[in-house]
Amino acid sequence: MKTPLSICIAIAIALPLLHACTKKASPRPTDNTRMAISNVATSAYQDPNATAFFRRTSGSIAFDGALSVPLSNGKVIWLFNDTFYDDMNPDGTVPCIFNKHNTVLLQPANHSWDPSQTTNLLLYGNPDLFQSITPGNYYWPSAGVEIGNTVYTVCLEMSSTTGQLVSEIMAGLNESDNTVSYTPIPDLNGIDFTKGMVKNLDGYVYIWGGKLKPNTIGQCDVYVARFPQNSVGNWTFWNGSSWGNAASSAAVIATAPSGGISVSYVNTKYVMIATTFNMECDGGTAIYGTASSSPTSGWGAISTNIIYNIPDKLQGHTPFFYTPSIHPEFNANNEWLFTYCINTYQPCVAPCNNNKFDPDIYRPRAVRVPYGVLNL
């Protein structure tokens, strides 16, 4: 489980479990905001087949993260963070705490949503492919891209002692044998570069990051960097007018309502989505979205344009939710797909009873959004 102690890290700290729309939503909050939210929820809708894909009974059973990377052979790599792995009880529950910090699934080229057709990738029998080079620490993978025969993703290195972020490193998953290599990246000046990766036609990979906006509650400043596809450790950062070598000179390109951010390229534009700031049950339901023709600007509506309100409820309460992720490889019927993760309904509803836990309160949900919502 995770809780957003470091606000702009949407996947923050591992803790034990006990502890929609009109064609264009209102661009500015007004007295009619509540009505606008009600109208927004009518266009974006939960995809039942894609959501059921995450209701697995073996291997990776329940998890958060849910980042996908399309491969050149048509298959899709799914990267998860904290995972209940192969531990389902006969009654369909799982123990009260996950047993892996990352797992990886490989979905077939036909993009079937049948869970039985998608299996875990293993390395020497182990499902957690991303292993910290520092004993005792662990990795959470994030958004990624395929370059050649390798899937690259920035991993957050977390301390198993303190639960705090230690560093970020570029990981390369070899598709041939499931081994992982690591490439150092420049000092990031406290920016969490895990919000999205896009492999562009100009030969660069663009990668977005976030950092807590000073003197705010939960708001997150967004930044963008890039690196050549043939040199994944050679980063430069957008400073407002050009690409510079120092993250300390990076320019804020947007301010999101929380650190739950995802950026990708959908149809003809760069799309950014963000969750409302929430830290526990009943903290809100809104997901915001905006689109731009540029990877470096045009995101002004990210804090005002609501595209969806999550419908999840348990005993009248809404969950803590976070880590949205856009999946453009599943575009269909002039609609695009994103997921969000839920992380129980505590403290409103106890998640663990008699050392048993309902895995469905720790699984992603999938949402389809018509292109017209963001004029894609």
CA 81, CA 97: separation in Å to the nearest integer? 13
**162 or 54, which is more confident?**
54
Predicted pLDDT of residue 2 = 56
pLDDT at 28 over 60: no
Q: How does pLDDT run across 317-355, given as a tens digit for each residue?
A: 999 999 999 999 999 999 999 999 999 999 999 999 999
Encoded amino acid at 376, one letter: L
Euclidean distance between CA atoms 123 and 3, whole angstroms:
29
pTM: 0.90
The reported pLDDT for the residue numbered 133 is 82
What confidence score (pLDDT) does residue 1 get? 56
Q: Using 50, 70 and 90 to split pLDDT, how confident is the model at 9?
A: low
Spatial CB neighbours of 221, under 8 Å, sequence gap ≥ 6 = 8, 210, 211, 212, 213, 252, 254, 255
Under the banding of pLDDT at 50, 70 and 90, the label for residue 163 is confident
pLDDT-based confidence at residue 270 (cuts at 50, 70, 90)? very high
Residue with tokens 């991993």: 155
- Tell me the mean pLDDT in the region 169-182: 98
The mean pLDDT of 200-226, rounded to a whole number, is 97
**pLDDT of 176:** 97
Q: What pLDDT, on a 0 to 100 scale, did the predictor assign at position 24?
A: 29
Average pLDDT, the chain: 90
